[in-house]
Structure 1
Amino acid sequence: MPSPLTIPFLSLFRFSFNLWGFGGFSAKIQGMKNAVPKNDKKRRKQLIDDVAKLEAEMEQKQREELEHLKLTSKESKIDSVAVNISNLILENQLPRISKAQKRRDKKAALEKERKERIAEAEIENLSGARHVESEKLAQILAARQLEIKQIPSDGHCMYRAIEDQLQEQDCPLTVAALRSQAADYMQSHVEDFLPFLTNPNTGEPYTPEEFGKYCDDIINTAAWGGQLELRALSHILQTPIEIIQADSPPIVVGEEYQKKPLILVYMRHAYGLGEHYNSVTWLVNRATENCS
């Protein structure tokens, strides 16, 4: 099948051929006229009618050929323009991005946003409550040859800090064990703990049922521990627990016991969620002296 660019040439060739054929036909008509005697009016009249009819048909064919030639040329130009536009669109079309690449780009954007938020938070913390609190605690602990030992903020921080302190005394109680024992002790000494608990929504004292639910949450959830749980654990372990704070004197729970106290650091502004407990460890130089 000929390409669009060759159509005008073929049409022009056919039109030229028709013109040549018309010329030969005219010569043939002239010969026919010469063959009819001039005095034969009847045959000559018939010949004139036939020739006029044939000439009209030939002129009609010529007009049709010219129209066809124009139309073919116009269509060829349109097709050529369409092809050029299609090629231009394809050349300028952006490459398709795979789903895997989209996921990678999204992950990279989220990671970049996370790092920017962390950087902004760190800048803000340089003059914020968290930074001020950390500086005060560092000074208080340094005076006692101690430093903070970071504990994860996962709801178990108080129990994890005590677990860490017990490991220093070769007491391998786990977070789960500490939670279970604290709940059991509180349930067996209801009168020592129930009066200090109130419903956060109503402000009313806990009912026995609410107190039972509170103790159940200590065992089965990541509910935060506070002063009541610290008191229960100090009685269980028969060990004092000292809580160091930035803006207040240390609090000692279970001061009636004579063992070496477990030391926790209480921070009000450590994380966005608020309160947090850390453990402590000896400063490097003190630890080095003990080993020498």
Structure 2
Amino acid sequence: MEEVETQEEVLVKQHRREKKDLQAKIQSMKNNVPKNDKKRRKQLTEDIAKLEADLNEKHQEELRELKSETDTKVQEVIHEVKSLKVEGEAVEEVEQPRVTKAQKRRDKKAAQEKERESRIAEAEVQNLQGLRHQESLQLAQKLAQQQLQIKEIPSDGHCMYRAIEDQLAKRAKPGLMMSMKELRSCTAEHMKNNTDDFLPFLTNPNTGDMYTTDEFEKYCSDVEHTAAWGGQLELRALTHVLRLPIEVIQADSPAIKIGEEYKDDPITLVYMRHAYGLGEHYNTVESLKDSANEES
């Protein structure tokens, strides 16, 4: 007997088709714009980002409506069952035919597949509504204006340093090829050698008092030898170590620029508040894939 698809399963499949159709449309749009037409390619990138955002918003609204309709129907069934119990209506127990082992296996497999599709639909709702998804969309649109996209960095406590390491590797300039460990070591050394520039901005989280000399020494040691997360103080130190400006792009506020006294092209990082369950995270950037094709 052919299984009847649920509304969730139908909607999830519809969304997959629409995403596939959009990708085909985007590819057609790219093919129609000459690769050497920089102005039209930039506008194309912005148009593509908007199309993707609009489709995601449409899917989000459709999934919300379906969830609302389903909840309403469930409440109606519950109400009807309660009414039958109150009225004391007797329900005849119908003897069920014996089910074969093969049929049980088929039924179990069908139930598991329906449950899987239901989880997919629920996950898509949560993903589309989630802060991480919304933040990623905002960042993608901002970066597209600069012909850039996010390049993921592992979330291991070293993300800021690894992102800068990636940016330096792309420059391939003598004296600027530094590993994550070297960046941490140089950051700690600069902070220790310029205590007055950093100590006043560090306070004990338990007492609110400014760090003592010993606490500051331990802080710098953690910067060098542990996976302590890096922030604006460390970025300030790194601008002086590298003699380069650093730009940090954020989703819902203007970019932060540090070390503007240095006039070289800035290192560009992406700061994400909602990337992981533990909180903040830094990623690096790379040229949009389409931009890379133009240069090749």
Query: Normalising to structure 2: TM-score of the pair?
Result: 0.57
Once the two structures are TM-superposed, the CA of residue 220 in structure 1 deviates from its matched residue by: 1.0
Return closer, same or farther for 1:120/1:220 CA change in 2, 3 Å cut-off.
farther
Task: Kindly name which structure, 1 or 2, has the bigger radius of gyration based on alpha carbons.
Answer: 1
Once the two structures are TM-superposed, the CA of residue 200 in structure 1 deviates from its matched residue by: 1.1
Residue deviations 1:33-64 (CA, integer Å, cap 9, x gap): xxxxxxxxxxxxxxxxxxxxxxxxxxxxxxxx
Once the two structures are TM-superposed, the CA of residue 123 in structure 1 deviates from its matched residue by: 4.2
1:128 to 110, 124, 130: 130
Aligned to 1:255: 260
Once residues 160 and 123 of structure 2 are traced to their aligned partners in structure 1, the CA distance between those partners, rounded to angstroms, is 25
- Runs of 5+ unmatched residues, structure 2: 1-117
Structure 1 runs (4+) deviating above 2 angstroms are: 116-123
Which letter does structure 1 place at the counterpart of 2:291?
Answer: R
Aligned to 2:53: none
Which letter does structure 2 place at the counterpart of 1:156?
Answer: H
Which letter does structure 2 place at the counterpart of 1:137?
Answer: L
Provide the secondary structure at the position in 2 that maps to 1:198: coil
Once residues 120 and 207 of structure 2 are traced to their aligned partners in structure 1, the CA distance between those partners, rounded to angstroms, is 37
Aligned to 1:167: 169
Aligned to 1:225: 230
Residue deviations 1:185-236 (CA, integer Å, cap 9, x gap): 0000000000111111111111111000000001111000000000000001
Aligned to 2:152: 150
Once residues 178 and 154 of structure 1 are traced to their aligned partners in structure 2, the CA distance between those partners, rounded to angstroms, is 16
Aligned to 1:236: 241
Which letter does structure 2 place at the counterpart of 1:155?
Answer: G
Aligned to 2:282: 277
Once residues 186 and 146 of structure 2 are traced to their aligned partners in structure 1, the CA distance between those partners, rounded to angstroms, is 31
5 Å matches for 1:49-128? 123-128=125-130
Backbone CA RMSD of aligned residues: 1.7
Once residues 196 and 208 of structure 2 are traced to their aligned partners in structure 1, the CA distance between those partners, rounded to angstroms, is 19
Once the two structures are TM-superposed, the CA of residue 125 in structure 1 deviates from its matched residue by: 2.6
Once residues 160 and 123 of structure 1 are traced to their aligned partners in structure 2, the CA distance between those partners, rounded to angstroms, is 32
Once the two structures are TM-superposed, the CA of residue 172 in structure 1 deviates from its matched residue by: 2.1
Which letter does structure 1 place at the counterpart of 2:190?
Answer: Y
Which letter does structure 1 place at the counterpart of 2:149?
Answer: E
Query: Normalising to structure 1: TM-score of the pair?
Result: 0.58
Once residues 143 and 186 of structure 2 are traced to their aligned partners in structure 1, the CA distance between those partners, rounded to angstroms, is 30
Once the two structures are TM-superposed, the CA of residue 120 in structure 1 deviates from its matched residue by: 6.1
Worse overlay, 208-217 or 166-175: 166-175
- Runs of 5+ unmatched residues, structure 1: 1-115
Which letter does structure 2 place at the counterpart of 1:215?
Answer: C
Provide the secondary structure at the position in 2 that maps to 1:277: strand
Q: Percent identity?
A: 64
Provide the secondary structure at the position in 1 that maps to 2:129: coil
Which letter does structure 1 place at the counterpart of 2:180?
Answer: V
Once the two structures are TM-superposed, the CA of residue 122 in structure 1 deviates from its matched residue by: 5.7
Return closer, same or farther for 1:202/1:127 CA change in 2, 3 Å cut-off.
same
1:289 aligns with 2:291: no
Once residues 168 and 283 of structure 2 are traced to their aligned partners in structure 1, the CA distance between those partners, rounded to angstroms, is 14
Return closer, same or farther for 1:217/1:192 CA change in 2, 3 Å cut-off.
same
